Structure 1
Amino acid sequence: MPDFKKLILRKFNYIAGSRYEEIMKAYREFLLTEEEMEIPVISSVLLVVDRFSEKPPDEIYDVLTSYPGAFIKVTYLIDGRLCALIRETLGEEAAKKFRINEKSMGEEFIRDISGRLSQLGVNFSSEILFEDKASFVEDAIENYDLLVISKHFGSEGLKTYNITPLAFRIVQRIEKPVILY
C-alpha cells in the first residue's frame, strides 16, 4: 500500500484533501496494491453452481489442484424465492414438481463435478440448497478463501453480456479472490 500512496502523491501532489481520496479510489481499480501482489494462501474453496452455470472447464480443475490440501465445498443452489413464488402462484403440487426437477438436475451436476474432483484426489464435500443465490454466496464466502463461480451464474447466458448481472454483483461485492469461468 505505501507504494500505491507514493505513486498517487507523486502524480497528484497538488490536489488537496477529499479530491485526493477520490483519485485513490478511482486508480485503485487499475493498480495492484502490495497486498494484492502477494499470492494469497488458499486453504478452502467455495465452488458455487446453479442450473445456468457452465460445467467447470479443465483449467478450473488444474487451478484447484494447485492448492494442495485445500478443502473444496461444491454447492448447487436452487432459487428459494422462485420456489416460494411457484407455490404461491401455481400451488403446492407445481412447487413440489419444480423442487424435484431442480434437485435431480443438481444431483447430476454435482455428480459430474464430484467425479472429477475424486479422480484428482481433492478433499471436497457437496450440497444442494434452496436459498437466495446472491445472499447465500455473499454470506458463505466469509468462511472460504476463494470463490469459483460461472459467468452465467444466476440466469441464462445473455447474448449482450459476457457475465450475468448476478455474477457481476457477487464479484463486485465480495473482497475475497474470485475465479470466474
Structure 2
Amino acid sequence: MDLILQPWPWYVAGPLIAIIMFLLIFMGKQFGMSSNLRTICTMCGADEKASFFNFNWRAQKWNLVVIIGAAIGGFIAMHILSADPAVAINPETVSNLNGLGFESAGKAYLPVELYSLEALTDWKALIILIIGGFLIGFGARWAGGCTSGHAISGLSNLQLPSLIAVVGFFIGGLVMIHLLFPLIF
C-alpha cells in the first residue's frame, strides 16, 4: 500500500502516456488542454464574438473528457493516493523560496502565498495571477497550443513547430524563474 502512496516513477507514467498518445494518434485525435478551453468558450457562445471560436465544437466534445478526467484524477491522486501533499523538491530550492517569502515551499503542493483564497486579497499576488493568466492564454494562442498539446501530442507526431514551441516554453520558464522571479519577490 505504501508504494501506491508515492509518485509514480517515470518508467511507469511515461509508458502510460505513450500508450494514450498511441491510441489518440491511431484514432486520428490530438490532445491539448487549451483546445478544451476553446471548446468550452464556443459552447458558451464565444463564436458570436470572435471568429476564432467559430468551429464545430461537437466534433471536439470527446476532448472534454480530458478535463473531467484531469479533475477526477487530480482529486484521487491528492486525497486518496498521496500520503503527503507536499512536492518533494530540492532543499536548496526550498531555502531559496523561503528567502523570497514562500514559507509554504516544500510543505504544500502549491505555494499558498499565491494559490489560496487569502492571496486574492493581496494586490501583488492578484496582479501576478492576472498577468500570468494573460501571458499563458496569449502564449497558447500565439504558439497554436499549450504546453501539454505541444509537448505530448505535437512531439509524439514529430512536429517541428511543437519542438520549437517546447524549447521556447523551457527558455521562457528558465528566464522567468532565474531572472524575473527574484525581481518580483
Query: Would you tell me which structure has more strand in proportion to its own residues?
Result: 1
| Higher gyration radius (CA) | 1
